[in-house]
Amino acid sequence: MADIGRPVTTTDQPKPAKQVEIFDTTLRDGEQTPGVGLSVREKLEIAEQLVRLRVDIIEAGFPISSPGDFEAVRAVSRAVQGSGVTVCGLARTRQEDIDRSWEAIRDSERPRIHIFIATSPVHMKHKLRLTEDEVLQAAEDMTRYAASTGAEVEFSAEDATRSEPEFVRQVFRRAAAAGAHVLNVPDTVGYTTPAEYKTLLEFLMADIMPAHPKVKFSVHCHNDLGLAVANSMTAVTVGVTQIECTINGLGERAGNTSMEEVVMGLYTRRSYYQTNCCIDTRQIARSSRLVTTLTGIPVQPNKAIVGTNAFAHQSGIHQDGVLKQPLTYEIMRPEDVGLAGSALVLGKLSGRHAFRQRLAEMGYTLTPARLDRVFARFKELADRKRDITQRDLEALLEDEVVDGPETISLESFHVVAGNGAIPTATVRVRVGSETKQEACLGTGPVDAVFRALARAIGLGDEAGLKLADYSLKAVTSGEDALGEATLRLEMGGRTALGRGVSTDVIEASALAYVKALNRLLGSAESSRPTAAEGGASGGAVSDAGRLERGTAPE
């Protein structure tokens, strides 16, 4: 019988014969999304969720690109020990990159160094200014050097799909002979098509596999022409066993292959692909939300799998069909991606033990200090909101990811607004050991609070503080739903994201503003240069170790 979707158990369809490994690069390629800059703490939070999702490999960063990236890769390597996941650090084909990468990942239980060099004529001539022979030599020498550390080595031929297939074949032969364990064929600029990619992969695999049967083939696709997922899925049909992807398809320009689409494609159409992966699909929705929250990059409503409309049926005919038989219009079940109804979990009288137990069931084990903080927030929320759902708890956990000491905190605020009233806000904030207060008028109550907050900490109009983005949404439904405010502040060429949740949307906005101010004025690592300044997005290190635009891998 042909697939009609919604596999319910492993017995309803033939068991997939093969496994494909999921290589997540949200923390490396995904972080190259314009405007995104994750702190070490945020990267750790995402890495822990990737472990719950059961990815096989986490590419945690590009250690030589900045001290912050190095720290993050090292912290992830240490934090996920015992989970069985491989932690990977990116490096160019240079000894100093490889040394730095190895230093950052050496504490991982499964370290992998990912080295890359471009093989296309346009990259070799204009970017690298290297001849073919020099590229061949660098591929061989640096693969051998990376392998001498004892780490697993992945070798990528950057821009492989615009390279001469014969040249990529020669480069791969040299890398495989020098000890590469994985050979990656990136579609760096999202240029190829499924049929063309298939031909290239078959050509390369037929040449390398007989001499190196243990070498794995991998794909890494960008989405410039909207084909990243289609190209990656095609690769599976020719026997590629690793897919590189990001949560929500984040990444440079139009992004990378979207993990949730690949995983649900393999799962839903497993009798077609005859391949599966180890991902716990029920963690998909939560992973997507966490990444949205921490990066501030929203998911479009009609995005496959994780968009808010992905499981919504609008037309009467569709609704009628789904009520009669879900299979009519649903090829996947919402609960398979973790969208089960947001069940009531706890209430006002729930104690600390029940709270910890519920978090553990959701997959969270918190340190005692963090548990204390989240429990205190939960109690505050329980006073204002009758039913506390799993989604509410997730929102509190996400909100509580802090990057370090926050010197500014909101003590209280008061607003006057309404028909005929001039919106006015009074705020009281704590800055270090001092308490400051200020009152301001605004175009609305939120604007008045923002102005008062900025002025209270000494940032008058002349400071050039700009609200670059602001959005407000409900976390769950219902009158007492939590409101979530996300905003971005810019000042002096730096940008910082802030997010706040509360049942009061003005309070949520004020909390988000204070969080962004802390990041903007505090650690330089968690606020990023703006795109106009040549920020982390698109930047890579030059020979001198400075950030420079335009040389980053995609």
The sign of the torsion formed by the CA atoms of 221, 225, 231, 232 equals positive
Nearest approach, Cβ of residue 46 and Zn ion (Å): 18
Nearer to ligand KIV, 118 or 425 (CB): 118
Sign of the Cα torsion 53, 56, 59, 60 reads positive
216 near ligand KIV, judged by CB under 6 A: no
Which stretch, 182-190, 229-237, 279-287, 488-496, contacts ligand KIV (CB under 6 A)?
182-190
CB of 220 to Zn ion, least distance (A): 6
Helix (H) / strand (E) containing 290: helix 284-295
Q: How many C-beta atoms lie closer than 10 Å to residue 116's C-beta? A: 23
Given ligand KIV, Zn ion, none, residue 231, with its beta carbon under 5 to 8 Å by kind, binds none
Binds ligand KIV (CB under 6 A): choice among 186, 255, 529, 539: 186
445 binds, among ligand KIV, Zn ion, none (CB under 5 to 8 A by kind): none
Q: Is 261 in the site for ligand KIV (CB under 6 A)?
A: no
HEC per residue, 296-343: CCCCCCCCCCCCCCCCCCCCHHHHHHHHHCHHHCCCCCHHHHCCCCCC
Give how many residues touch ligand KIV by CB under 6 A: 11
| Binding region for ligand KIV (CB under 6 A) out of 171-179, 180-188, 356-364, 424-432 | 180-188
Distance between CA 243 and CA 233 in Å, rounded? Answer: 9
In this chain, which of 158, 260, 403, 484 binds ligand KIV, going by CB under 6 A? Answer: 158
Q: Smallest Cα–Cα separation from 235: which of 18, 57, 51?
A: 18
Q: Which does 494 bind (CB under 5 to 8 A by kind): ligand KIV, Zn ion, none?
A: none
From residue 28 to residue 67, the character string flagging contacts with ligand KIV as x (rule: CB under 6 A) and all else as - is -x--------------------------------------
SS3 assignment for 193-255: CHHHHHHHHHHHHHHHCCCCCCCEEEEEEECCCCCHHHHHHHHHHCCCCEEEEEHHHCCCCCC
Q: Does residue 97 touch ligand KIV according to CB under 6 A?
A: no
Least distance in angstroms from the C-beta of 361 to Zn ion: 36
For residue 554, state whether it binds ligand KIV (rule: CB under 6 A).
yes
Site residues, Zn ion (CB under 5 A): 29, 554
Which of 119, 120, 102 is closest to 111 using CA atoms?
102
Which one, 22 or 427, has the nearer CB to Zn ion? 22
DSSP code for 348: T
Q: Which of 35, 106, 33 minimizes the C-alpha distance to 76?
A: 106
For residue 486, the partner it binds in ligand KIV, Zn ion, none, with Cβ less than 5 to 8 A by kind, is: none
Q: Which residues bind ligand KIV (CB under 6 A)?
A: 29, 116, 156, 158, 184, 186, 188, 220, 222, 553-554
